[in-house]
Amino acid sequence: MLSKTMEDALNAQIQKEIASSYLYLAMAAYCEKQNLPGFAKWLKVQAQEEQGHAMRIYEYVNDRGGTVVLQAIDQPPTTFGKPVEVFEAVLKHEQKITASINDLYALAVKENDYATQVMLQWFISEQVEEEKNATDIIALLKMAAEHVVLLDHRLGKRGE
């Protein structure tokens, strides 16, 4: 059984994951408007992944006898600048999510909640991958500069 404190923290994380999905969908819409369908596709896949993360925590809370309480999400921005600025925003956001996951883990340790610690290990590993993906794309964008269209085509192959 989850403590009330852990349950509340996990519900807050569900909200953050859903908000992440919404943010990435807004970024995808922006990229589509900028005629960058490959970037948009990558971001739509990312939005789906974030929704999956929210559902993973949702299921965990239910499995542990907790109550899922969905919280409101804010409207994301509608403009993001150049492609490199989009992915710099992705990286900054993922770093914020990493900090939130780390805080959850610290709470689970404080509460001697071993099951939640184990569940959060997957998220800790996932955040390493998320930050690396964003960092790699930023590096490619900086190297590509005027060849953004080629990179857009490459990113459009995600999930194929």
**First-to-last C-alpha distance (Å) of the chain:** 40
Cβ atoms of 45 and 159 closer than 8 Å: yes
Domain-embedded: residue 9: yes
| Spatial distance between the Cα atoms of 125 and 153, rounded to a whole number of angstroms | 28
Does 131 reside within a domain? yes
Asked whether the beta carbons of 64 and 2 are under 8 A apart, the reply is: yes
Tokens 């192959």 found at = 157
In a domain, 160, yes or no: no
Query: What integer is the mean pLDDT of 9-26?
Result: 98
Range in 25-39, 99-113, 144-158 with the lowest mean pLDDT: 144-158
> From CA 130, how far away is CA 62, in angstroms rounded?
26
- Asked if residue 100 belongs to a domain, the reply is yes
Q: Are 107 and 7 in contact (CB under 8 A)?
A: no
E strand map for 15-160: none
| Average pLDDT score over the chain | 95
- Single out the residue of 54, 56, 31 nearest to residue 44, CA to CA: 31
pLDDT tier for residue 148 given thresholds of 50, 70 and 90 = low
**Domain, as residue range, for 135:** 4-155
Instruction: Flag whether pLDDT at 146 surpasses 70.
Output: no
Nearest alpha carbon to residue 73 among 158, 27, 12: 12
Domains: count for the chain: 1
CATH for 106: 1.20.1260.10
Contact between 33 and 148 (Cβ < 8 Å): no
Q: What percent of the chain has pLDDT over 90?
A: 86
Task: Examine the pLDDT at 144 and tell me if it is beyond 90.
Answer: no
pLDDT tens readout for residues 78-115: 999 999 999 999 999 999 999 999 999 999 999 999 99
Could you read off the pLDDT of 57-85 as tens digits, one per residue?
999 999 999 999 999 999 999 999 999 99
pTM score above 0.85: yes
Q: Count Cβ atoms within 10 A of the Cβ of residue 22 and give its class: 0-12 exposed, 13-18 middle, 19 or more buried.
A: middle
Q: Which of 43, 49, 44, 53 is closest to 137 using CA atoms?
A: 43
**CA count, 13 A, side-chain hemisphere, 155:** 28
> Is 110 within a domain?
yes
